Chain A
Amino acid sequence: MREIRADEIKNAVVSALKEIHYQMRPDLKASIKQALEQEASPLGRQALELLLQNAKMASAGVHPLCQDTGLTVIFVEIGQDVRVVDGGLAEALQAGVRQATQEGRLRHSVSVHPFKRVNTGDNTPATLHYDIIPGKGLKMNIMAKGSGSENISALTMLLPSAGEAGVRDFVLNIIRQHGAAACPPLLIGVGVGGGFDTAPVLAKKALLRRLGEPSSDAETAEMEKTLLAQINSLGVGPQGWGGTTTALSVAIKTAPCHIASLPVAVNIQCHSHRLAEVKL
């Protein structure tokens, strides 16, 4: 049995959050630079240039990349031979969020109750997902999820006969109707299969993949390519001002499902994709 101190986990969350709110991910920067070369709209190119300039300014550590410092979502993969000592795991994760909010000067963006709208004042509770895996490892994917993009995310239960085309239509309709409000260029996470509860988690997990890396399944990779081209033909463009870069990537994850179901969840992410992978 490997023992990991709760403090070590908390500290890892603090440093990851302080990093991702000020430093743009290299894969994202490369993707925006590539989009800049291909963007057909002059206004679109200016918007992309502004995002690169924004990243440069944020890296000085004074102003976070985006004022919507988001709801923190942590995906934990914990080996079954790991034991967290000197405190609880969930408690350590939440304490990390609380401390990073203070030290990283993050905005307080969480309400106690969906109707009462009183601020919790420290960005807790973060959303926590756990997977128990074999071995002695502990891995965390730590994401700060803004709400402009989260608000246009959606779930549908299609008929199996709708097939791949039905899934693509569902995604395209979301982007056509609401994409401009979600800070394009967007990252699209799609979860297909599972059930009503698991498809949205698949969609969010799809966003954990490095940009530019296709699905390991050849057919899914092909569908990602087709869907990305279709999204970019909608004309929405950077900031919704018109252009050929509406999305930077489409990542699809599939899972087995009931013979009568075709669950589809789409998690939209804005270009301010703040994510870190931490291994302990």
Chain B
Amino acid sequence: MRKNLLALIGLLLSWHPGLLSAQAQQTRKLDTTSFVVLGEGLAAGMANYGLNEVVQRKSFPAQIAQQMNTAFPQPLIQGPGLGDVLGYPPSPVSLPNYLQGSVRVFPSQPVKNDEAPTLFVFNLSVPNFRLTDSLNRRPVSPLIHNDDSQQTAINMILGFPSLILEREVPLWTQLEYARAMAPTMALVELGYFDVLAAAVAGNPGLIPDPASFRAAYATIVRGLRELQTEVVVTTIPDPMDTAYFSSPASATRLMRVPDSVIAEFYGINPQDFITPKGLSAIGNQFIRRQIEPLPPDVILRGAVGSDISNRVRALNAQISAVASEQGAVLYDLAGFFNRIRTTGLRVGSSAITGDYFGGFYSLDGYYPGATGQALIANEILGLLNRTYGESFPLLDLGPILHEDAVSKFAPARAPEESPFELQRPSSSGIEDEIALP
């Protein structure tokens, strides 16, 4: 009797809510029939300065859908694509001439000239979408806004072909659209553009405050969960972990100059960050052998970067809290980006790092290339398999890496070149030559 009582007490003491919730999670059922994604540029597949069908087909949601064997119509955009790129001058809205293109890709049909656009899309991700845009912005006629590239992007993704149909049809916000698709599964990747825009502007104050962020985020997740949709939410990557903000150490690896040169010539501290524009400026100066002060917006001081990172962590804490209270599954995308930054990964014999030209990030510096998207897809597939007891096959990264141009980016200088001799203007007007080891 005493032994049985002790055993019972031991059993009770070994129980804890986490165990129960994990067990409860294991018994949750995942229906992949209708899989929708609410995101911004990252989930849209944006890379290399724009959004077009080439990169969209490699987006991590598209690759997840492929492995889950579920329909995933996307708003494929003909080249050169659309979407302004943070940190670079905006492009004018330019409508192609008739017969030149239709902007949206029409899937080919057995009967030629019978192509038509997909009536609905499941990847609802819009480049440069902020969290609140998901709730508030909707397509607005006319289809093309010559003075508003963002509205044009919203129209082409969320409002096509609705805006050109000869019927009165609803024009949905991103959340309304997702709900209208009666989703069984949804992925939410929002907030990244909010923090990227603040980081690129060098203004942490532009990052939403945690309370208002949580309220908006909870509205989105709740709006999906009340339809009994299984929801996966992702934390927001820290922009400081991306290649857009290279550390001096990363810059020296890229340009193969000692970090003392970077520090001495440009007054950059080890904790500061250099943007791609700054890397390009420094590299050009080295080639021209003419050191000059850098433009003001290419260096982000360490203190500002820390502030941004702290604010991103605060937002991620809100996402985690919303996931817990709404019964959503949380994927730590921020943690993955940090791992890429700190330790990198190996894909076969290739090292993938978070450096600019490191194989993970595309030329814009903050959106991954095809390999990076596939790595994210495998992470989420693994999470789904563990959470729901599924056995979705993971992507074979070898062929993806082989065909990924991003993995082949390399600096212009070959390693066997001798160090440059540099000149810099001196107060005496005498040119000094500095020999580099």
- A, B from the same assembly: no
Instruction: List A residues at the B interface (Cβ < 8 Å).
Output: none
Instruction: List B residues at the A interface (Cβ < 8 Å).
Output: none
